[in-house]
Amino acid sequence: MSTAIIGAGVMGETLLSGLVRAGRRVDQLMVGEKRSERARELEERYGVAVVSNREAAAKADTVALVVKPQDMGDVLDEIAPELRPGQLVVSLAAGITTAFIEARVPEGVAVVRVMPNTPALVDEGMAAISPGSHCDEAHLAEVEALMASTGKVLRIPEKQMDAVTAISGSGPAYIFFVVESMIEAGVHLGLPRATATELVVQTLVGSATMLRETGTHPVVLREQVTSPGGTTASALRELEVHKVRAAFLAAMEAARNRSRELAEGS
């Protein structure tokens, strides 16, 4: 089964590299990319064939669309004449609905929507997938296998996609923002930057591993760290005073709303 990736930016390359790491034969992969310099870079790095979008759509069994949501309409108009019943179109774009895609491709082309995230680059991705209306179990299982090569996969109803985008799609950026903030705070407290970075990164990895391996509720894990009258309680009080919890809620609502706007084409 051949797979084409149209749009080889950050997420397109993440998907491509995951497929290569998972042992997909490079001669079964192809890339459509607008920027010729970027296309050459990927050709050299992976030995993958870079072709026109139309050729990719004509030749591949599965066509993964990884362009910006704002470019999706143009790309679909370009490739639609090449698509045929039985092919599978997988969209990784935020906001873009399966109905939007189905309205622009020939009848009988199956569509699956995916919301991946960048930790897929280290095989720790979280991808949510939703079927379009002409998609059967085999199509969904195929996309599940495609995304499982880079991490976990969850099937969700499409109506949850905007919220999922706000959590796991954009989520790595929130975590990196917190990490960056903690490192800066460490430097402010007088630690060398390298020391602060090592402390923060290992604390993050250790905490994430505890969450995953113990399955214990985060509130319980937080309470275990919070000694009565101790340092953690003092720190957590400041986070509450500065409304960090409310800030996360507002941030994720904003991301969810932006995903809805992208669906409207703005």
Ligand X SMILES: NC(=O)C1=CN([C@@H]2O[C@H](COP(=O)(O)OP(=O)(O)OC[C@H]3O[C@@H](n4cnc5c(N)ncnc54)[C@H](OP(=O)(O)O)[C@@H]3O)[C@@H](O)[C@H]2O)C=CC1
Ligand Y SMILES: O=C(O)[C@@H]1CCC=N1
Q: Which of residues 199-258 bind ligand X (CB under 6 A)?
A: none
| Minimum distance from residue 245 beta carbon to ligand X (Å) | 24
What is the sign of the dihedral through the CA atoms of 162, 246, 248 and 211? Answer: negative
8 C-beta neighbours (distance < 10 Å), count: 25
- Report the distance separating Cα 227 and Cα 152, nearest Å: 35
Q: Which of residues 65-94 bind ligand Y (CB under 6 A)?
A: 94
Please write down the long-range contacts of 154-157, taking CB distance under 8 Å and 24 or more positions apart.
154/126, 154/127, 154/128, 154/129, 155/128, 155/129, 155/130, 156/128, 156/129, 156/130, 157/130
Please state the closest distance from residue 136 (CB atom) to ligand Y, in A.
Answer: 27
**Does 39 appear as a known binding residue?**
no
Say how far apart CA 117 and CA 99 lie, in whole Å: 22
**Contacting residue, 3, 4, 12, 163, with ligand X by CB under 6 A:** 12
* Phi/psi-derived region of residue 95, left when phi > 0, alpha when psi is between -120 and 50, beta in every other case: left
Picked from ligand Y, ligand X, none, the partner binding residue 7 (CB below 5 to 8 A depending on kind) is: ligand X
Site string for ligand X, 46-75 (x = CB under 6 A): -------x------------xxxx-x--xx
- Annotated binding residue 9: yes
Nearer residue to ligand Y within complex by CB, 118 or 226: 118
- Find, among 72, 147, 133, the residue nearest to 102 by Cα: 133
Looking at 86-94, 105-113, 146-154, 219-227, which segment touches ligand X (CB under 6 A)?
A: 86-94
Options 17-25, 114-122, 154-162, 196-204: segment touching ligand X (CB under 6 A): 114-122
Helix (H, G, I), strand (E, B) or coil at 112: strand
Separation CA 183–CA 38 (nearest Å) = 33
Whether 101 has a binding-site annotation, put simply, is: no
Of 3, 14, 87, 170, the one binding ligand Y by CB under 6 A:
170
- Binding partner selected for residue 56 from ligand Y, ligand X, none, CB under the kind-specific 5 to 8 Å limit: none
**What's the closest the beta carbon of residue 181 comes to ligand X, in angstroms?**
20
Binding site membership for NADP(+): which residues?
6-11
